[in-house]
Amino acid sequence: MSGCRIEDHTPTGTRRDEDTIQRLLSQYVRSLSQRDWGRVRSLFWQDGTYAGPVGPGAPTNYHQAVSIDAAILTLERWLRGVERQNFDVRILRTDLRQEGDLAAAWVVTRRVTPSGPGQIETDWLEHIVFRRIDGDWRILSVAVASPTRASVP
């Protein structure tokens, strides 16, 4: 008699790894929102990359990978003088997968960004890759899909 067989796809990491990665992800988003550029940078490995729209004038389908340092510099310049309520990043959903010393998260975020004198809200899909080296987890890369929908609050 044939029956259903349950497949085990348990990740190879530990619960502690998952907690660490989730904490890193939360720190990344919170640091972006607070414009704490030094903290954002500290969450990445030395050669970390960012691919996606960064500042004003960048088309939403812009996907060239740049160093995290270049991305942070662009963000910092773009947001200089922008009121706090006109820039924010919040996590809506996370799908995390870990295999040993490598982890990836598909993250849906809601971003409030400046638009003229006001703001616009957009949902973003981001793929964030984490790497553990010598017991330390950090972000290796962030890739952003085109923002999915926008609304003016």
> Along the 153 residues of the chain, how does pLDDT read in single tens digits?
566 666 545 555 677 889 999 999 999 999 999 999 999 999 999 999 999 877 655 555 566 789 999 999 988 988 888 888 889 999 999 999 999 999 999 999 998 888 777 788 888 899 999 999 999 999 999 998 865 555 545
Q: What is the per-residue DSSP string for the chain? A: -----------SS-HHHHHHHHHHHHHHHHHHHHT-HHHHHHTEEEEEEEES--STT--TT---EEEHHHHHHHHHHHHTT--GGG-EEEEEEEEEEEETTEEEEEEEEEEEEEETTEEEEEEEEEEEEEEEETTEEEEEEEEEPPP-EEE--
- pLDDT score recorded for residue 146: 62
